Amino acid sequence: MIRKLFFALFLINLGTLSAQELNCQISIITDAKLEVTTTEQEALKQLEEVIFDFMNTTQWTKDKFKIEERINCNLQLQINNIPSQGTFSGSLQVLSSRPAFNSSYNSLLFNFQDNDIVFGFSRNTALYYTKNTFRDNLSSILAFYAYFVIGMDYDSFAPNAGTPYFVEAQQIVVNAQTSGAPGWKASETGKRNRFWLVDNVLQQLFQPLRDCNYVYHRKGMDQLYDDKDKGVKEIYKALLKLKPVVQTRPNTVNIINFVYCKTAELKSLLSDSDLKEKTDFVNLLKRLDPGNSSKFQEILN
């Protein structure tokens, strides 16, 4: 397993304790204008614990992880509405990162806000994931993002290593098609839901994005300690790979998400670069995501 070999090179061995794949932190917040009863508050408090256990104790892959090898991710569930007792709706912010070689720095891999969150939950209810089965909307949403985060992480360590996990995420989408819940279908307004996230990443057209993920991190971020100039050049080459995708499918959720994740990182990384190098990056980023041109311009400051 490439990811484990990578960690063996630079992480301190903290012992023989084993762990599941994710180190997932959970927070649940409610809209300030939303009236929440005591019973609902208690249910949401328990839900936070239930989600934590679900994400961190489910075995998502066949690989064995040590505690220090777990994939760092964060979920922030915002409850905006309680249509009926035991039914909640809102949004879910999902973030994941991976470490840079020989560094304490973590590079943001995925940062996505899912606005199609509707689920039922009552106290003393457990969440389970059963392969090839739609049990309930919440467990399916969480399992989808668990596999998507794992896929992104594995792709950043070896070419296309995340494929099995993206395929699993896509199967969750297929299983949810008849549920009637939002976020699972291609026909919904816009193309920024769970269906398109995973459908895009598995299309051959988006192979350059997966190549970019690998080169950006493995040949770029992981080389900065030994040779920063070389690492920065590889990062630029990685981002160049996105141009043909943007020319064919502009403003797709996967490209915008990847570039968005890297904006603050690139600004910091290029802080001591010369004006030409900064300008080259800014011009490229503007071509990849024209809607955020003003944000990229800040790199020059």
Structure token digits, residue 112: 């996505």
Residues 89-121 have pLDDT tens digits of: 999 999 999 999 999 999 999 999 999 999 999
CB burial of residue 83 (10 Å; 0-12, 13-18, 19+): exposed
- Chosen domain end from 169, 202, 235: 202
- Residue 200's identity, in one-letter code, is N
- Chosen domain end from 158, 182, 202: 202
Total number of domains in the chain: 2
Residues 182-220 have pLDDT tens digits of: 999 999 988 999 999 999 999 999 999 999 999 999 999
- Give all strands of the β-sheet with 22-30 in edge-to-edge order: 22-30, 71-84, 87-99, 106-120
Confidence (pTM): 0.93
Q: What is the pLDDT of residue 12?
A: 38
Range(s) of the domain holding residue 291: 205-301
Using an 8 Å Cβ cutoff, are 34 and 80 in contact?
A: yes
196 and 209 in a single domain? The answer is no
- Chosen domain end from 167, 202, 237: 202
Answer whether residue 137 shows pLDDT above 90.
Answer: yes
118 and 230 in a single domain? The answer is no
197 and 209 in a single domain? The answer is no
Using an 8 Å Cβ cutoff, are 224 and 231 in contact?
A: yes
Residues 162-184 have pLDDT tens digits of: 999 999 999 999 999 999 999 99
55 and 39 in a single domain? The answer is yes
CA distances from 2 to 6, 160, 214 (A): 6, 11, 12
230 and 282 in a single domain? The answer is yes
231 confidence band (pLDDT: 50, 70, 90) = very high
Q: What is the pLDDT of residue 190?
A: 85
48 and 91 in a single domain? The answer is yes
